Amino acid sequence: MGKLRIVLADDHGVVRAGLRALIEVQPDMEVVGEAADGPTAADLARDLAPDVAVLDVSMPNGGGARAAEEIRRDCPAVRVVVLTAYEDRSYLHQLLKAGASGYVLKRAAADDLVRAIRTVVAGGTYLDPAVAGQLLPTRPPAAGGPTPDLSDRETDVLKLLAQGYLVKQIAARLAVGGRTIETYKVRAMEKLGLKSRADIVRYAVQRGWLGGD
C-alpha cells in the first residue's frame, strides 16, 4: 500500500514547514502539496486528489471552513482535518457542518495531528479531547429514561454520517439506493430529535461511537 498523500494549507510558511516535517517523518505519509489560502487548498485537492487535506481555519480568502466545504463537495473521497486555535462551540459546529472529519487544536501535541489523520483515513471522526466535551448535552438524559427505538440499519447510517461519510458513500457501502439512505437518516433524526450533522456527531460522542483510537 502506498503512502497517505497529504495537502497542507496554512498562511504561515514556518507553520507549514513544521507540519511538513512532522508528517514526512511518518513512514506511511507524504506531503504532496502546500497552500497559503483556502481557494488554493481547494484547487490542490481537486488537482491532486490527496487522501487528506489539513487546513488552518484562519487563512485569507474564505479560510479553512470554506475550503473544507468546497473539498467535501467536489472531492468527497478527500478527508478534511482542520487546525485551529479556537475552542468555542460555534467554530466546532461551523466546521463540522462544512464537512471536516477532524478537529485539532494548534496547542495540541504533535502526535494528535498524526492520530487525527490516521483516524479520518480509517473512516472515523477525530475531535480534539479539549472540544469533544462541548458536543455532549449540558444536561444528559435522566437515568433510566426511554431510549429511541432505532433499527439496526438506522443506527448504521447514523454512525456513518457521524464519521463523516456522505449519503452516496453510505449507499455504496451498504449496497442500497441513496433515497433509502436518506429515509433511514430522516427517520433516525426524527426519533432522536436531531436537526443537523453537529447534532448527529454530538449524539455519536455521547454514545461512544467516535473513539479517537
Same domain, 56 and 118: yes
Same domain, 163 and 120: no
Q: Is residue 145 part of a domain?
A: no
Q: Is residue 212 part of a domain?
A: no
- What is the distance between the alpha carbons of residues 6 and 70, in angstroms, rounded to a whole number? 17
Q: Is residue 141 part of a domain?
A: no
Q: Is 49 left (phi over 0), alpha (psi -120 to 50) or beta?
A: left
Q: Which domain holds residue 71?
A: 4-135
What are the pLDDT tens digits along the chain (213 aa)?
Answer: 689 999 999 999 998 999 999 999 999 999 999 999 999 999 999 999 999 999 998 888 877 888 999 998 899 899 999 988 776 666 677 777 777 888 888 887 778 899 889 988 888 788 877 666 555 544 444 433 445 678 889 999 998 888 778 788 899 889 999 899 999 999 998 888 888 777 788 788 777 777 544
Please count the structural domains in the chain: 2
Same domain, 184 and 93: no
- Which residue blocks in 63-151 are alpha helix, DSSP H? 63-74, 89-98, 110-121, 129-132
Kindly report whether the global pTM for this prediction surpasses the value 0.85.
no
- Using alpha carbons only, what angle is made at residue 140 by residues 207 and 86, rounded to the nearest 5 degrees? 75
- Residue written as grid cell 478537529: 103
Q: Is residue 140 part of a domain?
A: no
- What is the distance between the alpha carbons of residues 72 and 44, in angstroms, rounded to a whole number? 13
Same domain, 104 and 163: no
CATH number at residue 28: 3.40.50.2300
Same domain, 10 and 71: yes
Same domain, 63 and 97: yes
Same domain, 89 and 27: yes
